[in-house]
Amino acid sequence: MTTSTNSPATVRKAKAAAALRQLTNERQTILSRQTTAQETIERLNQDIIQAQRSGEADALTNLRADRREGEESVQDLQRALPGLDREIELVTGEMVMAERAVQAENWNKIQTEQAALLTTITEAVELIANSIIEKEKLAHVQQKVLANVCIGADRNPALIRHDLAFAITARLQGMTPTTLRTVDWTCLRMTEQGDLR
């Protein structure tokens, strides 16, 4: 069972994931721009060396201005990273919390079903227990009848509980137990001659 795509927790997680993707892409873009700017500065340094050797004063001035602009750009990009990293850290925390909220939502849906099943089982156990107690009482009466007709001394009311417990255990283990009616002596009919069939 999973949370629906419209649940508050799922929406929260989707928003956090989208924000995290966006911030991660922004960070990657900044790093890429930094690398490009540093490569440009290196190229400008080489061009400045060439301009100094050739004595081109105007070109040298322009190249130095371009280099300063590139260095400032690298510094600006570098200054942007800590704030962006902090945002990524916060959104990552939100993502973790959103994932936990989805897990809690999934858990609670299952827990609701479990609680309903437990209520059903509790009611069934109560009904079964009361029925077994009543069945055993009737079996004692039947045992007295058997004693009066002198047959079936092996018919024991205690076996009722044992047979039912066996049947339930077998079913829980995936086996199909023998129908209880075929093994339960209390459900056999008595002929006029006193035989149980």
Clarify whether residues 129 and 52 are in a common domain. no
CB count, 10 Å around CB of 164?
Answer: 17
Q: What is the mean pLDDT of the chain?
A: 89
Any idea which of 23-27, 133-137, 186-190 has the lowest mean pLDDT? 186-190
Residue 5: strand, helix, or coil:
coil
- Long-range CB pairs of 113-117 (<8 Å, 24+ gap) are 113/1
Clarify whether residues 80 and 24 are in a common domain. yes
Structure tokens at 183: 């093994």
Q: Are 140 and 124 in contact (CB under 8 A)?
A: no
Q: Which of 112, 146, 164 is at the close of a domain?
A: 112
Q: Using one digit for the tens of pLDDT, what is the confidence trace for 53-112? A: 888 889 889 999 999 999 999 999 999 999 999 999 999 999 999 999 999 999 999 999
Nearest 5 degrees, angle CA 16-CA 22-CA 27? 125
Handedness of CA 71, 74, 78, 79 (dihedral sign): positive
**What mean pLDDT comes out for the span 170-192?**
79
Q: Domain range spanning residue 155? A: 123-187
**What mean pLDDT comes out for the span 163-174?**
86
C-alpha to C-alpha distance for 51 and 86, rounded to whole angstroms:
43
Any idea which of 16-20, 23-27, 189-193 has the lowest mean pLDDT? 189-193
Q: Please give the biggest Cα pair distance in the chain.
A: 135
Clarify whether residues 176 and 99 are in a common domain. no
Residue 1: inside a domain: no
Clarify whether residues 166 and 84 are in a common domain. no
Residue 117: inside a domain: no
Which has the higher per-residue pLDDT, 100 or 192? 100
Would you place residue 154 in the very low, low, confident or very high pLDDT band (cuts 50, 70, 90)? low
Any idea which of 83-87, 103-107, 167-171, 192-196 has the lowest mean pLDDT? 192-196
Query: How many domains are there within the chain?
Result: 2
Whole-number pLDDT of residue 151: 56
Whole-number pLDDT of residue 153: 53
Whole-number pLDDT of residue 148: 73
Clarify whether residues 29 and 70 are in a common domain. yes
Q: Is the pLDDT of residue 150 over 60?
A: no
Whole-number pLDDT of residue 197: 78
Residue 147: inside a domain: yes
Residue 26: inside a domain: yes
**Predicted TM-score of the model (pTM):** 0.62
